[in-house]
Amino acid sequence: MFRNFVNFTNKYKIVRGMISYGTLWPCGSLIEQTLIEKKTFRTYDWMKCLRFSLFGFFFMGPTIYVWIRLAGVMWPRTDIKSSLCKAITEQTAYDPMAISSFLFFMTLMEGNTYADARREVSDKFLDAYKVGVIYWPCVQTVNFAFVPARNQVIFTSFFSMCWTTFLAYVKFLQLHPPVDVDHHAMDIHFLEM
């Protein structure tokens, strides 16, 4: 049975990325929930993890597979110059679409409206993209220059899990803004006690 599965994923390489993203993206959500929200196994938002898994499996896996294949055709060499070209092109062509789609579709999957999803993209895209401009070119230059083509989607999916943890963090922070504390008022109240 395992051999059949391996043969299937070798024949349909897109499935490798889909499984990888469908598994690693909810892990990114769990990492964020654990480190930032201080949740435990009993308090994890499992529906949030399911949404991350569905998005990773049905959107990220197939689109990153197609992007990597397209980049391989556009720049077939694996030298540093070609790798930088791939990484820069990805940052300007693929990443804006991927970040926008993440914010938009995750908001819809949370049960929010189309207008809410558009506002989510409008409010959060630029901050996420600014970090991505630094993060992804570094990851993808290494990926395109040193990782064999058959493993590039899997390599990218690990760093995508780290990126997903960041996106989940950004989403959480903006849903739960820091509380402004009037320290002067607190000092006066403390002195009155």
Q: Is residue 159 included in any domain, yes or no?
A: yes
For residue 35, tell me if it sits in a domain.
yes
Q: Is 172 part of any domain?
A: no
Q: What is the pLDDT of residues 102-150, one digit of tens each?
A: 999 999 999 999 999 999 999 999 999 999 999 988 898 888 888 888 8
Q: Is residue 83 part of a domain?
A: yes
Nearest to 96 by CA among 59, 126, 54: 126
Task: Give the total number of structural domains in the chain.
Answer: 1
Largest CA distance in the chain: 74
pLDDT at 99 exceeding the cut of 70:
yes
Axis-axis angle for helices 95-109, 61-74 (nearest 10): 170
Dump pLDDT digits (tens) for 2-41.
Answer: 888 888 888 888 998 899 889 999 999 999 999 999 999 9
Domain assignment present for 49: yes
Q: Are 164 and 52 in contact (CB under 8 A)?
A: yes
Q: What pTM, to 2 d.p., does this model score?
A: 0.80
- Asked whether 160 and 94 are in contact (CB, 8 A), the reply is no
Q: Is residue 188 part of a domain?
A: no
Structural domain of residue 151, as residue ranges? 1-163
**Is 169 among the domain residues?**
no
